[in-house]
Amino acid sequence: MRDTFKKHLESNLNMLQDSRLLLAISGGLDSVVLAHLCHQLNLKVSLAHCNFNLRAAESDADEDFVLQLADDLDMEVFIESFETENYAKEEGLSIQMAARELRYTWFQELAEQLKFDYILTAHHADDNLETFLINLTRGTGLEGLTGIPEVTGKIVRPLLPFSREALKVYAIDQNIAWQEDSSNASTKYLRNKLRHDIIPILKQMNSQLLQNFQTTISNLQDSQDLIDDSVVRIQKKLTTAEDDQIKLDVLKLKQLSNPKAYLYQLLKDFNFTAWNDVVNLLDAQSGKQVFSSTHRLLKDREFLLLSEIASETDQAPIAIQKSDQEVVVPFGTLRFEHVTAIMDTGNTTIYVDAEKLVFPLILRKWQEGDVFYPLGMKGKKKKLSKYFKDEKLSLIEKEHIWILVSDDEVVWVVGKRADDRFKVTENTTKILKIDLQ
């Protein structure tokens, strides 16, 4: 085991040789064996152990075990204690997700602050197969079957080609002690079922199971590479990024061999779950939309428009005081300046008669029913909705429109059109320049 491990490092993970490594250690078989292997190969390793305080005395015993191990192997060790249950409650996470988040955040912080080059975790081939099978029982796609990568950013998993059995044989052979974990989390339950009831039978069916499985996931990763290529190409062909939104060309999408498959690939990072609804948008009426937790996909004539859902605070009205010179708003910065002459006008700058304004001005999203007197239209009143229609704004563009109002009268449809009532006239004595940056 030590020799194969050494060879594996030399041919695939050579960058570990002269790096500062932080090894995530639980005290269980896998990470303890990894610590011993690193020690034997004289790698520069420090240990990091999380005490999640989820198993009372047992958690503390693990901590003591890790301290003793660090002492035995003469390794630096970091221990951090977490109130995992509280954190999970506060963040609305499962205990397991909470522990995961706490663990990785802490490791990354440690690595950052103490200049570790890599974080090592002890995932092995059986973990990979178990994850594959768990994802299979839940329903998945290619992403769920390609396994854990050996390297992701700073995180390296050097035991990935090795089976749990090989680790155990090595530990027993070398008289290495480890802590058994009695925890019973729900995936622990699933993993135990797989570990004890299913994988042994699969190994009876084919003694080369784990090697064959490595081949399988390597083949599937190759497939994923081909898909990534074709998605990049399609993305260039039929999407355009505009301001805060991504525009997908529906006609081009529908000409592809499998529009649904491409749509999934193009949108998979945006947290959608109602994929049937997403696909149905292709043939839906303009105005139909589907939401994910973070994004919205809107059918707008021959396009699908993808945009982030603005958070509630981003939508709230903003009061602007007479003394404000600069106000940061969700879409930029508004600058207010008293000037003596009108210089450069344009969509992002207006000049108004300061004495007609009633402070605080309010900057808010427009609403159905809002009206204004477009500058240059001889004092004719117009509904904002009508104005937007005439300007052929898309639904999403409309939703991004803010208006600046004075005593609930529109001063500026920001970035679009000033109101006639506040314009600078021959009677104006104080000119206020308002500028969007």
Interaction between residue 204 and a copy of itself (CB under 8 A): yes
Among 8, 154, 260, 288, binds a copy of itself (CB under 8 A): 260
Question: Least distance (Å) from a copy of itself to the CB of residue 368?
Answer: 40
Stretch that binds a copy of itself, among 119-127, 215-223, 311-319, 424-432 (CB under 8 A): 215-223
Interaction between residue 252 and a copy of itself (CB under 8 A): no
Stretch that binds a copy of itself, among 34-42, 226-234, 340-348, 421-429 (CB under 8 A): 226-234
Among 230, 255, 311, 347, binds a copy of itself (CB under 8 A): 230
Cα distances (Å, whole numbers) of residue 63 to 25, 108, 117, 208: 10, 20, 24, 37
The label of the residue with tokens 């078989």 reads 29
Question: Least distance (Å) from a copy of itself to the CB of residue 136?
Answer: 6
Site for a copy of itself in 172-201 (CB under 8 A): 190, 193-194, 197-198, 201
Contacts of 53 (CB under 8 A, 6+ apart): 59, 81, 82, 83, 84, 85
Query: Could you write out the three-class secondary structure of 53-107?
Result: CCCHHHHHHHHHHHHHHHHHHCCCEEEEECCHHHHHHHHCCCHHHHHHHHHHHHH
- Choose between 217 and 361: whose C-beta lies nearer to a copy of itself: 217
With CA atoms as reference, report the closest residue to 33 among 126, 122, 150. 122
Separation CA 406–CA 422 (nearest Å): 10
Stretch that binds a copy of itself, among 133-141, 322-330, 345-353, 400-408 (CB under 8 A): 133-141
Question: Least distance (Å) from a copy of itself to the CB of residue 120?
Answer: 26
Among 77, 98, 159, 209, binds a copy of itself (CB under 8 A): 209
The tally of CA atoms less than 13 A away on the side-chain side of residue 299 is 18
Interaction between residue 213 and a copy of itself (CB under 8 A): yes
Interaction between residue 206 and a copy of itself (CB under 8 A): yes
- Choose between 96 and 216: whose C-beta lies nearer to a copy of itself: 216
Tell me the residue type at 70: A
Long-range Cβ pairs for the range 369-372 (8 Å, 24+): 370/403, 370/410, 371/410, 372/403, 372/409, 372/410, 372/413, 372/417, 372/419
Residue 304: how many CB atoms within 10 A of its CB?
27
Question: Least distance (Å) from a copy of itself to the CB of residue 203?
Answer: 8
Separation CA 166–CA 102 (nearest Å): 30
Interaction between residue 261 and a copy of itself (CB under 8 A): yes
Among 148, 227, 318, 327, binds a copy of itself (CB under 8 A): 227
Interaction between residue 202 and a copy of itself (CB under 8 A): yes
Separation CA 35–CA 44 (nearest Å): 11
Angle in degrees, CA 193, 196, 197, rounded to 5: 70
- Choose between 21 and 266: whose C-beta lies nearer to a copy of itself: 266
Residues of the binding site: 26-31
Question: Least distance (Å) from a copy of itself to the CB of residue 28?
Answer: 22
Separation CA 160–CA 147 (nearest Å): 10
Question: Least distance (Å) from a copy of itself to the CB of residue 229?
Answer: 5
With CA atoms as reference, report the closest residue to 51 among 34, 70, 23, 27. 27
Separation CA 100–CA 180 (nearest Å): 19
Residues of the binding site for ATP: 26-31
- Choose between 105 and 219: whose C-beta lies nearer to a copy of itself: 219
By CB under 8 A, the count of residues binding a copy of itself is 49
Interaction between residue 4 and a copy of itself (CB under 8 A): no
- Choose between 211 and 347: whose C-beta lies nearer to a copy of itself: 211
Separation CA 334–CA 173 (nearest Å): 71
Interaction between residue 212 and a copy of itself (CB under 8 A): yes
The label of the residue with tokens 């679009």 reads 416
Site of interaction with a copy of itself (CB under 8 A): 133-134, 136-142, 144-145, 190, 193-194, 197-198, 201-202, 204-206, 208-209, 211-213, 215-216, 219-220, 222-231, 233, 256-258, 260-262, 264-265
